[in-house]
Structure 1
Amino acid sequence: MISPLEVAPAEDYPFQTTFDTLLAPLFFIAITFVAYYAISYVMKKRIQGTDDYMVAGRTIGPFVNGSAISATWESLATFMGVIALMVQVQIPFLAMWTNFLLSIPLIVILYGQTLRRLGSYTPATFCKDRYGNSMSVVMALLIVFVMLMYALGQFIGLAQIAEILFGWDYTLSLFVIAALVTGYVVISGMWGVSYNSALQFWLMLTAAFFPMMLVLNQLGSTGWFFPPLGYGDLVPEMEAAQPGFFDMTFDTRWYFAMFLAMALGPIGMPHLAQRIFTSRDVEAGRKTVFWFVAVSALMFATVYAVAFAGVMWLTQEGLIDTVDEADFDKMIFYLNFAFGGDTITGYVVAGAVAGGLSTVSGHMLAISAAVANDVIEAFELEITEDRKTQFGYASVIGAGLVIALIALNPPAFLVVSILWAFAISAAAITPVIVLGVWSARVNRYGAIASSIVGFVTVIVLSPHAFGGIGAGGEGLTADLGIDAIMIAFPLSMLTFIVVSLVAERIDSLGVDPESNRALINEMHGYPDDDVERFTSAMPLIILALLMLPILWWGIQPW
């Protein structure tokens, strides 16, 4: 495990860390922004109502949608923070990405088609139909919080890039970025964001893939022409220089926590679910998943090659212990400055900006949907379709302003805030959606209790809120803020099941499982033929019993 030492500031590094000339990065960024706004302007003409604005009329094709999902799912952190974590966590970080790739197929399998049949845009819309207005409001608030946490890091990262490039004050950089991002989301809605995100994915991939070919070639790799695997013949040299680089060093519970947070967390992320809902039909949704997994795997493998090459290069130069830990975020830029120069690094910066834009636009649409659509539905406000669409525009602008204001005093963590959002989603959102789709026995009392318990447990046990309280391991794994999911997830599931079944026994609460049967049959495409489906309590009891050893396992010191 590499543990960088505290050393001289970045400007004293014996390698290039900033641009000698801004011509290349400004050219590439300008061209890409012209393309984004052109796509947004053209696609704006297709918006006729809320269905067009929120889910692009459910008409996006598989290849475009798969690329767009991958771009939304990835982020600026893919270029910066993820590489830094890979340098620190090394080969175990692949456990995170393996579970990430499971998330979109799980969305399709567990609830994608069922929510399409209900015409739901978001988890909160589903919660209104399934649990009632109170749970819909709780879910909308959770979604807004999680999306703010996720988007916060993107705004900060984009502002820092603008600050470095132009020498602007951080505050000015932040609000310029907020205006640019908000502008094209408002102009086009999901139509433009979908096609922009697809373009942004390929910008990200090419900005990592092709420059890395040059880097690996100069490092001496014979497989340099395919970076995802091209570093393979350098593995013996890496093992000699960094013997622990490929060790699976963490406790087994850490890898299980990765599954809970990184595979189950995205299931509750509305900006990912919305992408599934934009598909034309079920068959297109399946093809979308294929393209998502294929292109995401290519991107992730390429980025891993970046981290590998960065460690290799710094080790060869004798500089691995001279780089400040926070500056590993900039590894991809350092590598390209060293091996490609300003022009190639300018294109890499444009790819990084594309990563930030693609993700934050999805977050802002999710926040917009939660506020403009879910709140209106929850309170049963009578407004016209045109007014609802206008409310969506205003919500995007408001979301951009709120995120920018929060980012004025940014937290000490950037990528970690994204991982924290996954943990909260897994504990507080995912159980409510999945069990609500597959069991008529869960109800609003259990759902509200589960969401509150899951959310509070992650907050309390995370090192980012109260610091002195913790769960799981120590050091880097605890700092990531994911260990708490080993307690929060099983506790949330137990709360959901126990409270729901107990509420059935209290006559004054008026819980009737049979009232949910017709709705669930409708979601799964079954006719209302009085056949008993999804009404047995036994699967819930078995699930609750399975949660007990997981909870006990998570409570034990690592």
Structure 2
Amino acid sequence: MSDLQSRFRRRLLLYYSLFTLGLLGFVAMMGLLEHSNADALWLGYVFLFVTIAIYACIGLICRTSDLNEYYVAGRRVPAMFNGMAIAADWMSAASFIGLAGILFASGYEGLAYVMGWTGGYCLVAFLLAPYLRKYGGYTIPDFLAARYGNGKPGGNMPVRAIAVLAASLCSFVYLVAQIQGVGLIVTRFIGVEFAVGVFFGLAGILVCSFLGGMRAVTWTQVAQYIMLIVAFLLTVSLIAWKHHGEVLPQVSYGSLLSQLDKQEQELRQAPAENQVREIFRRQAGALDERIARLPQSFFEDRAALDARLLELRERNAPLREIKTVERERATFPVDAADALQQWTLQRDEALARSQPATSSTEPYPAATEEERQSKRLNFVLLVFCLMLGTASLPHILTRLYTTPSVRESRNSVAWAVFFIALLYVSAPTLAALVKYEFFHHLVGTSYGDLPQWVVQWRKVDPPVFGIKDVNGDGIVQWAEVLIQPDMIVLAAPEIAGLPYVISGLIAAGALAAALSTADGLLLTIANALSHDVYYHMVDRQASHQRRVTTAKIVLLGVALFASYVTSLRPGNILFLVGAAFSLAASSFFPVLVLAIFWRRTTAAGAVAGMATGLAVAVYYIFVNYPFFTRITGIFGNRWFGVDPIASGAFGVPAGFAAAIIVSLITPRNAPVIDRLVSYLRRG
């Protein structure tokens, strides 16, 4: 058996080495075509379609109807390759697109994501990985149902049901973020509308996971990891080489941070910058006044806008003026409640833009000590939620079932940390390099001489980049630039003036990151619904073929529904991902830890822990996140000033408390559970 495994590893090394060399050769060939004046837009099409075709071919080659292969890739994935698959599964659109962006936008505060996500893998390796792999099974609800099942065939059904609900919810929120990232990539590089881009991305996701399940997803994810890491590292190195003469800026970008800090201090004192920030402060004050006079201000402003539009039409004003006012009227609030929400958001944005430039090096920059303490608290709690969420995400934990042994499972987590660190070390470097480009090649430029990339990115819908001459001096000020963090990585090659072939490569890398995670999430939801709901709760006599077919049908339905939800634009990518982590931590972390390390935990305690933790986290997001408050009109108070992305800070303690209290007041488990826990904890 070991000889077979050794030959299998060597064969995989050969295949993926050839894939890597082929990728580098393909990039070089595209560069030569661009140098010979090939159409840049055509290059973008080629990068996206060729890479998706490669993933589709791997999916077709790995198609299977075998239950063990479909659910857990036959439990024969070597540690190094499983580590690459975990890294690809992990490095979603949030990591690839969002991490450098949040570091760019918030400086030091963005390190919470690096610390939380990396620390979470230590928890996975030491707390959960060996025990889950030793148990086996197909899904996380499978493990929990067996642990709390008191020896019943199929395990405890209430535990399984609430676990399926929690796994589906947190995976679905995460999935929406990935599809949104795909939509953004396709919109920019192919030029279709966002909704069309979303459904185009859906096709790319399905070709990887529909036919082959975990087997196809695993080997596709290894190829996708190679794609995304080559794209990211090559982009960072080329930007640094072109503008700073360095090939490995990751080891020396401290001097660049010092330069950025000096420039940010200068921008805080610049008269033109202060003038722009003062205009935003006045706008915030005016909006405050309008909010205070609601509902009267709503009716007055609407009447004034209608009168202005009528006057322009009566005097036959230029069509441009009429269209501008018509757009303003179309976006005007429909009623006083809508006005309250719109104007509150506009006021908050104006207040944010009135603040001095964010420091790249100063911890918790804020105007007052109270604000600084609030930022510090949110930083710590976000790290806490991301760490526990990492150790609780079903689509990551399920990958632990695919290795041949417990030892390989541990080793695969170590490999995953290494592969993830390659990108995490480079993300702060890319953020610093791009901010340097902004300060030196955009800020201080005349509005008549804006770079071409500005024109292109202003057209993207949903809006991710805006620039407007607020103080009318004809010169770009830093305070006049509005940037969504999601655009930084995708736009980095254009901002740095690199060949368009690198833009195509970075888009292909971002697409690989989004598709790899989306595949894992879709498979997690579909497998939970087909295996845990259909097989264990509906039809225990279902054949292997019927169970696999059911999983494929469910996968297709979930993918279509997720694409529809994404088209509603529920929030930015990083928030959706952070919320998924809080939901996973709140529902799964307490019961997983107690399942392994406290024999006294009962089935009733597990149900109470999952339900309570999930309910608290969902409630806190529901009443504090703008997307939901706009829909429902329900506004809550932030407990201790904690951001909704860190709702797990309340959900996890609530889950532990509920599980422990209910377990203590309900009958002990059957002896069979003691034997199961002893088996899991034996070396």
The TM-score normalised by the length of structure 1 is 0.84
Q: Paired residue for 1:336?
A: 493
1:205 aligned counterpart, secondary structure: helix
Q: Distance in 1 between matches of 2:254 and 2:67?
A: 49
**CA distance in 2 between partners of 1:260 and 1:122 (Å):** 25
1:31-70 map, 5 Å = 31-44=50-63, 47=64, 49-70=66-87
Distance 1:471 1:288 in 2: 39
Partners of 2:55 and 2:142 in 1: CA distance: 30
**1:495-522 residue CA offsets vs partner (Å, 9 max, x unmatched):** 1111110123xxxxxx446452122123
> What residue is the counterpart of 2:380 in the other structure?
256
Match of 1:242 among 241, 264, 267: 264
1:39 & 1:320 partners in 2: Cα distance?
Answer: 46
Match of 1:422 among 561, 576, 581: 581
Which amino acid is the alignment partner of residue 27 of structure 1?
V
Q: How does 1:145-544 map to 2 (within 5 A)?
A: 145-220=169-244, 222=245, 224-243=246-265, 244-249=359-364, 251=373, 252-317=376-441, 318=443, 320-326=478-484, 328-338=485-495, 339-375=497-533, 376-379=535-538, 381-462=540-621, 463-464=624-625, 465-466=628-629, 468-472=635-639, 474=641, 478=643, 481-504=644-667, 511-512=668-669, 514-525=671-682
Secondary structure, aligned partner of 2:161 = helix
The 1:450–1:242 alpha-carbon spacing in structure 2 relative to 1, beyond 3 Å, is same
User: For 1:268, what is the secondary structure of its paired residue?
Assistant: coil
Letter in 2 for 1:267: A
Change (3 A) 1:230 1:39: farther
Question: What amino acid sits opposite 2:41 in the alignment?
Answer: L
CA contact (8 A) 1:123 1:433 kept: no
Rounded Cα–Cα distance in structure 2 between residues aligned with 1:186 and 1:227: 40
Preserved contact between residue 123 and residue 268 of structure 1 (Cα < 8 Å): no
Match for 1:42: what amino acid?
I
* C-alpha distance in structure 2 between counterparts of 1:309 and 1:379, whole Å: 55
Cα contact 1:53–1:190 (8 A) shared by 2? yes
1:148 to partner: Cα distance:
0.7
CA distance in 1, matches of 2:378, 2:195: 38
- Structure-1 separation of matches of 2:486 and 2:129: 35
Question: Structure 2: how far apart are the matches of 1:331 and 1:448?
Answer: 42
For 1:20 and 1:239, how far apart are their aligned partners in 2? 39
Letter in 2 for 1:247: E
Does structure 1 residue 143 correspond to structure 2 residue 143? no
**Matched letter for residue 365 of structure 1:** L
Change (3 A) 1:501 1:359: same
Q: Are the aligned partners of 1:121 and 1:277 in contact in 2 as well (CA < 8 Å)?
A: yes
Q: Per-residue deviation at 1:199?
A: 1.4
Number of aligned pairs?
493
Q: Is the 8 A contact 1:257 1:482 kept in 2?
A: no
How big is the shift at 1:104?
2.8
**CA deviation map 1:144-193 (0-9, x unaligned):** 11111001011122123222333323333222221221122112211221
**CA 440–171 in structure 1, closer or farther in 2 if over 3 Å, else same:** same
Distance in 1, Cα, partners of 2:491 & 2:572: 21
Q: 1:513 to 1:254 in 2, by over 3 A?
A: farther
2:183–2:198 Cα contact (<8 Å) kept: yes
Secondary structure at 1:66's aligned position in 2?
helix
Aligned to 1:80, the other structure's residue is in SS state helix
1:88 CA drift (Å): 2.5
Partner residue, 2:122: 105
- One-letter code of the match for 1:335? A
Percentage of identical aligned residues: 21
Whole-Å separation in 1 of the counterparts to 2:60 and 2:110: 40
Q: Secondary structure at the match of 1:187?
A: coil
The C-alpha deviation readout for 1:55-82, integer Å capped at 9, x for no partner, is 1011111221111111111112223222
For residues 518-551 of structure 1, give each alpha carbon's deviation from its aligned partner in whole angstroms, at most 9, with x where no partner exists.
Answer: 221232348xxxxxxxxxxxxxxxxxxxxxxxxx
Deviation at 1:225, TM superposition (A): 1.0
Q: Structure 1 counterpart of 2:208, which letter?
A: Y
Q: What SS does the corresponding residue of 1:113 show, helix, strand or coil?
A: helix
CA separation in 1, counterparts of 2:169 and 2:670? 31
- Structure 2 residue aligned with 1:530: none
Partner AA of 1:43 in structure 2: C
Report how far residue 210 of structure 1 moved. 1.1
Deviation at 1:48, TM superposition (A): 5.2
SS in 2 for 1:141: helix
Structure 1 alignment gaps of length 5 or more: 1-18, 505-510, 527-558
Greater Rg by CA: 2
SS state at 2:363 partner: coil
How far apart in 2 are the matches of 1:413 and 1:403? Answer: 15
CA distance in 2, matches of 1:340, 1:438: 53
- Cα deviation code 1:235-262 (max 9, x no counterpart): 2212211353112215443343133311
Residue in 2 aligned with 1:534?
none
Q: Could you tell me how far apart the structure 2 residues matched to 1:212 and 1:36 are?
A: 25
Q: Secondary structure at the match of 1:324?
A: strand
In structure 2, how many angstroms separate the alpha carbons of the residues matched to 1:332 and 1:173? 19
Q: State how far apart, in whole Å, the 2-side matches of 1:166 and 1:255 are.
A: 37
Contact 2:45 2:190 in 1 (8 A): no
Q: Distance in 2 between matches of 1:404 and 1:335?
A: 27
* Residue 73 in structure 1 maps to residue 90 in structure 2: yes
Offset of residue 197 of structure 1: 0.9
1:1-16, aligned counterparts within 5 Å?
Answer: none
Q: How far apart, CA to CA, are the structure 2 residues paired with 1:310 and 1:84?
A: 10
State the AA in 1 paired with 2:234: F
1:101: Cα distance to partner? 1.6
Contact 1:473 1:483 in 2 (8 A): no
